[in-house]
Structure 1
Amino acid sequence: MATITRSLSSKVNGNGESEIMLRLSVSRDLRLRLKSGIFVDPARFRDGKFIMPRADRKTLANLQTINDNLVSLESRLVSLCVNTPQNLLSKEFFEDAIMRHNHPELFETTPVSRSFFDTFNEYLATTQDGTKLSSHYRVLARLLERYEKYKKKSTRQNFTLKLEEFTGEVVDAFKQFVIDEPKIYERFPSIYKDVSEVVKTKRKPRKPEQRGHNAVIAIMKRLRAFFNWCVKRG
């Protein structure tokens, strides 16, 4: 079990504060002295503990905030020791963790916009690549793409499948599309002219055949498996 002891730097900054130093003992072979990035008035820190005033509420509140932050940082470091392979632990590793704790704003990133098919292809790559069912899921991807094109053609709107907008009504509409696709082919043959753009394939679309009840159920089960994966991934 990793242990941490505290000490105080002898240096004082322009605000009259000293930095709290941490001695992290991970194992016999890994003992590190780390800068916490957390500062305190030297008069309010002794033997690794904060000296809390009784009457000065403002100072007390400030010291309590510093103490809570320090405890949170120490808990984070210990958790990393437990959950990270020891060969990855180093001074640089913990310095980075401390920086991320003290300055999370420096590591915030703008979420990347992902399309429905970006997510579906990630599902294919992470769960179905090389499996016996992978080809069936690629069929599902092409079906979903044709459904999207069909909605654009039939509604004359810029319809796009979106993960967060795939409601029960959309599921029902897609299921009906799977059932009616041979008829839809007759009405909108242009949907079937191009090779699918959503999955890597050289296979050109062909006239769809009428699907039986079991085939439709199998397709919908695969769609449900995809959404279950999405829910688990948040």
Structure 2
Amino acid sequence: MKITTTLSTKTDKHTQKSEILLRLIVGKVNGKAVAFRAKSRIFVSPERWDATAGTIQTDIRTTRVMSAQKRREVEEEKQALQETSSNLSALISEIKSKFLATPVEQITKEWLEDVIDRYRFPEKYKFNEEKPAFFATLDLFLNKHKLSEVRKKNFRVIYRALQRFEIWNRTTLDLDTITQETLRDFEEFLRVENTFFRKDERSNKWSCINEDYKAVYEAYPETRTPQARGQNTINDIFTKLRTFYLWCIDNGKTTNNPFRHYKIEECVYGTPYYITIEERNQLYKADLSARPALAIQRDIFVFQCLIGCRVGDLHRFTKANIINGAIEYIARKTRDNRAITVRVPLNAIAKEILERYADHGGDKLLPFISEQKYNIAIKEAFKLAGITRIVTIRNPTTGEEEQRPINEIASSHLARRCFVGNLYKQVKDPNLVGALSGHKQGSKAFTRYREIDEEMKQDLVKLLE
């Protein structure tokens, strides 16, 4: 299936614009090439149409010699062209989506015209709709329900996965008819979606190897190719989906609750691994003079180990967050619900690091880089510092135990674990540690830190002597 665009040769006398025409190439059906043409109901000036590319030209530039009035007119035209181009792209995406959800024998010229008309003039069909569609209700939930930006972003990932599931299963999701079987089908889809892709070892790029699924993914892609999803990830997806359904029930959108007979598994975590205070100091004192850029990120990681914040909060810090010898902030993950200020006094090493980069320029607290590059730098710094001991982890995809060098799996979250783990080892009061780490009271995270380490075991055995 392919959609091409051309511009009509007819020009409206009043607007001086021509209509964009669409051609839907279905492909071969019963050995015959099938294609349909239709009017898009979208108009553009012929001089702003790129006939070769079949696109609207939106790159109109202003010059210094233009008058203020002319510059304003050009900017207004540019904005209008960008909106028209977006409308055209959205219409094409809608046609592709409907095409994928419709049996090929039902694709006709009348079908194409109906899809265009419903998309361009939805108000004509409002009175035929008794209730909002599934995704319209999900949009309403995301706009009305109190959610942090991070959680909204996570819901959007689920949103697109549901759109792909709907097309792939050739079904229509409906609040009133989704059952526990639908949920199980969606769970199975989440487990196998990654098998539709393969990574090219030379280019290091992922590509879709399932021809039937390729068009589905092109309609609703992700910035990151779907990877194998473990049970904890799937549990998190269904917990969020259940939150949406409970909101729908509370707000009278439906009386159906498919989760009544669908059990979400308990998340299973391994014992948290974290570096000791001695290892943290070993990392800090490691000679990285040959890698000055890496040394900077090493220092930032050590600083994060000393304040225990999440990396998202760390990268938001400015010099204004330092107040009376402490760092103060509202944890982003919880600020929409509780808005409690976290205050962590800075120790000598933390102050030393801040002093070292006091003149780095800009308002940011430290010379941060992207989270992805930061995580790569952490792994490299661990390796060069000789912190490569083997740790036992739980593979998030398979659920099986694995032994890995700590430098290979080190990331920004390890700094938070270092802070929490070492404090909790000394003070078994989760609320006290939580006041410094930003964990909410009663957080289940602390139960994973109730680890009896080797030193404790030796002390216990000595009691039997």
| TM-score using structure 2 length | 0.25
Q: Which has the higher contact order (CA 8 A, sep 6+)?
A: 1
Higher share of residues assigned helix = 1
| TM-score using structure 1 length | 0.48
